[in-house]
Amino acid sequence: NAGVTQTPKFQVLKTGQSMTLQCAQDMNHNSMYWYRQDPGMGLRLIYYSASEGTTDKGEVPNGYNVSRLNKREFSLRLESAAPSQTSVYFCASSPSSGSSDTQYFGPGTRLTVL
Amino acid sequence: AQSVTQLGSHVSVSEGALVLLRCNYSSSVPPYLFWYVQYPNQGLQLLLKYTSAATLVKGINGFEAEFKKSETSFHLTKPSAHMSDAAEYFCAVSAAGRRALTFGSGTRLQVQP
Protein backbone atom coordinates (compact mmCIF):
# COMPACT_ATOMS: atom_id res chain seq x y z
CA ASN A 1 0.00 0.00 0.00
CA ALA A 2 2.00 2.98 -1.29
CA GLY A 3 -0.52 5.69 -0.28
CA VAL A 4 -0.04 8.84 -2.38
CA THR A 5 2.79 8.83 -4.91
CA GLN A 6 4.10 11.76 -6.94
CA THR A 7 6.42 11.99 -9.91
CA PRO A 8 8.90 13.47 -10.49
CA LYS A 9 10.58 14.24 -7.16
CA PHE A 10 12.63 17.09 -8.60
CA GLN A 11 12.35 19.16 -11.77
CA VAL A 12 14.12 22.18 -13.22
CA LEU A 13 12.39 24.12 -16.00
CA LYS A 14 13.20 27.18 -18.04
CA THR A 15 10.70 30.02 -18.19
CA GLY A 16 8.02 29.22 -20.75
CA GLN A 17 8.45 25.45 -20.69
CA SER A 18 5.55 23.19 -19.85
CA MET A 19 5.31 20.10 -17.70
CA THR A 20 2.85 17.82 -15.95
CA LEU A 21 3.13 16.67 -12.35
CA GLN A 22 1.66 13.24 -11.77
CA CYS A 23 -0.14 12.03 -8.66
CA ALA A 24 -1.72 8.66 -7.88
CA GLN A 25 -3.35 7.18 -4.77
CA ASP A 26 -4.16 3.56 -4.00
CA MET A 27 -6.50 4.13 -1.04
CA ASN A 28 -9.72 4.26 -3.10
CA HIS A 29 -10.24 7.87 -2.04
CA ASN A 30 -12.81 10.00 -3.79
CA SER A 31 -11.20 13.42 -3.31
CA MET A 32 -7.79 14.67 -4.41
CA TYR A 33 -5.95 17.98 -4.01
CA TRP A 34 -2.96 19.92 -5.27
CA TYR A 35 -1.13 22.34 -2.96
CA ARG A 36 1.96 24.46 -3.27
CA GLN A 37 4.26 25.17 -0.34
CA ASP A 38 6.33 28.34 -0.22
CA PRO A 39 8.62 29.41 2.63
CA GLY A 40 6.75 31.17 5.43
CA MET A 41 3.36 30.69 3.77
CA GLY A 42 2.24 27.20 4.69
CA LEU A 43 0.37 25.24 2.03
CA ARG A 44 -2.02 26.87 -0.39
CA LEU A 45 -4.64 25.01 -2.38
CA ILE A 46 -4.28 25.19 -6.17
CA TYR A 47 -7.06 22.88 -7.35
CA TYR A 48 -9.08 20.04 -5.96
CA SER A 49 -11.30 17.26 -7.23
CA ALA A 50 -14.15 16.30 -4.93
CA SER A 51 -14.89 13.19 -6.98
CA GLU A 52 -13.99 11.57 -10.28
CA GLY A 53 -15.05 13.82 -13.13
CA THR A 54 -15.11 17.08 -11.16
CA THR A 55 -12.46 19.73 -10.52
CA ASP A 56 -12.62 23.10 -8.78
CA LYS A 57 -10.29 26.04 -8.30
CA GLY A 58 -8.62 26.64 -4.99
CA GLU A 59 -6.89 29.70 -3.61
CA VAL A 60 -4.11 30.06 -6.23
CA PRO A 61 -5.21 28.45 -9.55
CA ASN A 62 -3.72 30.94 -12.03
CA GLY A 63 -1.14 29.39 -14.35
CA TYR A 64 -2.23 25.83 -13.67
CA ASN A 65 -4.59 23.24 -15.09
CA VAL A 66 -5.61 19.88 -13.71
CA SER A 67 -7.01 16.59 -14.97
CA ARG A 68 -8.73 13.94 -12.89
CA LEU A 69 -7.84 11.08 -15.19
CA ASN A 70 -9.67 8.43 -13.17
CA LYS A 71 -10.36 7.77 -9.50
CA ARG A 72 -6.68 7.06 -8.77
CA GLU A 73 -4.90 9.80 -10.71
CA PHE A 74 -4.90 13.60 -10.55
CA SER A 75 -2.38 15.54 -12.63
CA LEU A 76 -1.28 19.18 -12.47
CA ARG A 77 -0.08 20.94 -15.62
CA LEU A 78 1.98 24.09 -15.99
CA GLU A 79 1.45 25.30 -19.55
CA SER A 80 4.07 28.07 -19.52
CA ALA A 81 6.21 27.99 -16.41
CA ALA A 82 7.20 31.20 -14.66
CA PRO A 83 9.79 31.80 -11.91
CA SER A 84 6.92 32.59 -9.52
CA GLN A 85 5.91 28.93 -9.82
CA THR A 86 9.12 27.78 -8.18
CA SER A 87 7.79 25.87 -5.19
CA VAL A 88 7.26 22.48 -3.63
CA TYR A 89 4.06 20.85 -4.88
CA PHE A 90 2.10 18.38 -2.80
CA CYS A 91 -0.71 16.12 -3.86
CA ALA A 92 -3.17 14.85 -1.25
CA SER A 93 -6.23 12.63 -1.12
CA SER A 94 -9.10 12.06 1.31
CA PRO A 95 -11.92 9.53 1.53
CA SER A 96 -14.48 12.19 0.64
CA SER A 97 -14.65 15.97 0.47
CA GLY A 98 -16.10 16.19 3.96
CA SER A 99 -14.75 19.02 6.08
CA SER A 100 -13.54 16.68 8.85
CA ASP A 101 -11.83 14.18 6.55
CA THR A 102 -8.13 13.59 7.00
CA GLN A 103 -6.04 14.41 3.96
CA TYR A 104 -3.13 12.11 3.14
CA PHE A 105 -0.13 13.71 1.48
CA GLY A 106 2.42 12.55 -1.05
CA PRO A 107 6.17 13.21 -0.67
CA GLY A 108 6.14 16.30 -2.89
CA THR A 109 7.75 17.56 -6.11
CA ARG A 110 10.38 20.26 -5.82
CA LEU A 111 10.12 22.50 -8.91
CA THR A 112 12.56 25.22 -9.88
CA VAL A 113 11.79 27.56 -12.77
CA LEU A 114 14.79 29.50 -14.08
CA ALA B 1 -13.81 33.11 5.86
CA GLN B 2 -11.34 31.02 7.83
CA SER B 3 -7.74 31.63 8.80
CA VAL B 4 -5.01 30.24 11.01
CA THR B 5 -2.23 32.03 12.87
CA GLN B 6 0.74 30.15 14.25
CA LEU B 7 2.74 32.23 16.71
CA GLY B 8 6.47 31.67 16.37
CA SER B 9 7.99 30.47 13.13
CA HIS B 10 10.82 28.80 15.08
CA VAL B 11 10.70 27.19 18.51
CA SER B 12 13.71 25.66 20.24
CA VAL B 13 13.47 23.39 23.29
CA SER B 14 15.82 21.11 25.16
CA GLU B 15 15.37 17.36 25.02
CA GLY B 16 12.97 16.38 27.81
CA ALA B 17 11.37 19.83 28.04
CA LEU B 18 7.75 20.72 27.40
CA VAL B 19 6.79 21.41 23.81
CA LEU B 20 4.14 24.10 23.24
CA LEU B 21 3.25 25.18 19.70
CA ARG B 22 0.58 27.84 19.41
CA CYS B 23 -2.32 28.00 16.96
CA ASN B 24 -5.19 30.45 16.82
CA TYR B 25 -7.96 30.25 14.27
CA SER B 26 -10.84 32.28 12.96
CA SER B 27 -13.92 30.77 11.45
CA SER B 28 -17.47 31.98 10.94
CA VAL B 29 -18.84 28.48 11.54
CA PRO B 30 -17.78 25.68 13.91
CA PRO B 31 -14.36 24.53 12.80
CA TYR B 32 -12.55 21.26 12.38
CA LEU B 33 -8.91 21.64 13.39
CA PHE B 34 -5.85 19.65 12.45
CA TRP B 35 -2.18 19.44 13.32
CA TYR B 36 0.16 18.02 10.71
CA VAL B 37 3.89 17.31 11.00
CA GLN B 38 6.42 17.50 8.17
CA TYR B 39 9.81 15.84 8.56
CA PRO B 40 12.62 17.04 6.29
CA ASN B 41 12.03 16.29 2.62
CA GLN B 42 8.79 14.45 3.32
CA GLY B 43 5.08 15.07 2.92
CA LEU B 44 2.74 16.05 5.71
CA GLN B 45 1.49 13.49 8.21
CA LEU B 46 -1.55 13.91 10.46
CA LEU B 47 -0.74 14.24 14.16
CA LEU B 48 -4.26 14.76 15.45
CA LYS B 49 -7.57 16.41 14.64
CA TYR B 50 -10.50 17.98 16.46
CA THR B 51 -13.96 17.15 15.13
CA SER B 52 -16.10 18.31 18.09
CA ALA B 53 -16.23 14.94 19.89
CA ALA B 54 -13.90 15.98 22.74
CA THR B 55 -12.02 19.20 23.42
CA LEU B 56 -8.80 17.42 24.46
CA VAL B 57 -7.46 15.46 21.53
CA LYS B 58 -4.66 12.93 21.77
CA GLY B 59 -2.54 12.16 18.76
CA ILE B 60 0.45 10.13 17.72
CA ASN B 61 3.93 10.30 19.26
CA GLY B 62 2.64 11.62 22.61
CA PHE B 63 1.24 14.89 21.27
CA GLU B 64 -2.08 16.36 22.32
CA ALA B 65 -4.05 19.54 21.70
CA GLU B 66 -6.91 21.28 23.46
CA PHE B 67 -9.69 23.09 21.64
CA LYS B 68 -10.63 26.29 23.49
CA LYS B 69 -13.54 28.00 21.81
CA SER B 70 -13.42 31.07 24.07
CA GLU B 71 -9.79 31.67 23.11
CA THR B 72 -10.17 30.43 19.49
CA SER B 73 -7.06 28.35 20.11
CA PHE B 74 -5.84 24.84 19.41
CA HIS B 75 -2.34 24.70 20.89
CA LEU B 76 -0.21 21.57 20.48
CA THR B 77 1.69 20.18 23.47
CA LYS B 78 3.97 17.32 24.39
CA PRO B 79 5.22 16.86 27.97
CA SER B 80 8.75 15.77 27.06
CA ALA B 81 10.50 16.56 23.79
CA HIS B 82 12.52 13.94 21.97
CA MET B 83 15.18 14.54 19.36
CA SER B 84 12.98 12.81 16.79
CA ASP B 85 10.32 15.52 17.27
CA ALA B 86 12.42 18.01 15.31
CA ALA B 87 10.26 18.89 12.31
CA GLU B 88 7.91 21.54 10.98
CA TYR B 89 4.39 21.60 12.40
CA PHE B 90 1.33 22.99 10.64
CA CYS B 91 -2.04 23.87 12.11
CA ALA B 92 -4.99 23.80 9.70
CA VAL B 93 -8.67 24.64 9.85
CA SER B 94 -11.64 23.43 7.88
CA ALA B 95 -15.12 24.74 8.46
CA ALA B 96 -18.31 22.76 8.07
CA GLY B 97 -19.47 22.88 4.48
CA ARG B 98 -16.09 23.83 3.12
CA ARG B 99 -13.91 21.37 1.23
CA ALA B 100 -10.52 23.01 1.60
CA LEU B 101 -8.05 23.11 4.44
CA THR B 102 -6.53 26.46 5.33
CA PHE B 103 -3.02 26.06 6.71
CA GLY B 104 -1.00 28.23 9.04
CA SER B 105 2.48 29.29 8.04
CA GLY B 106 4.12 26.57 10.12
CA THR B 107 6.40 26.36 13.17
CA ARG B 108 9.80 24.73 12.94
CA LEU B 109 10.63 22.86 16.14
CA GLN B 110 14.27 22.38 17.05
CA VAL B 111 15.22 20.03 19.87
CA GLN B 112 18.57 20.63 21.55
CA PRO B 113 20.45 17.76 23.21
User: Mind telling me how many Å the CA of B96 is from chain A's nearest CA?
Assistant: 6
Half-sphere exposure of B64 (CA within 13 A, CB side): 10
Chain B residue whose CA is closest to A5: B43
Report chain A residues whose CB lies below 8 A from the CB of B46: 102-104
Count of A–B CB contacts within 8 Å? Answer: 58
Q: Which residue type occupies B47?
A: L
Reduced to 3 states, what is the DSSP secondary structure of residue B30? coil
List the single residue in A4, A41, A58 with the smallest CB-CB distance to B105: A41
The pLDDT profile of chain A, 114 residues, written as one tens digit per residue, is: 689 999 999 999 999 999 999 999 999 999 999 999 998 888 999 999 988 889 999 999 999 999 998 999 999 999 999 999 999 999 999 998 777 889 999 999 999 999
Each residue of B48-97: pLDDT tens digit?
Answer: 999 877 889 999 999 999 999 999 999 999 999 999 999 999 999 987 66
- Give chain B's length: 113
CA B36, A107, A51, A65 torsion-angle sign: positive
Half-sphere exposure of A40 (CA within 13 A, CB side): 0
Half-sphere exposure of B102 (CA within 13 A, CB side): 19
CA distance A73 to A94: 13
A-interface mutation test, from B9, B93, B99, most A Cβ less than 10 A away = B99
For residues B23, B41, B51, B20, the Cα torsion angle rounded to the nearest 10 degrees is -30
User: Mind telling me how many Å the CA of A47 is from chain B's nearest CA?
Assistant: 10
User: Mind telling me how many Å the CA of A30 is from chain B's nearest CA?
Assistant: 12
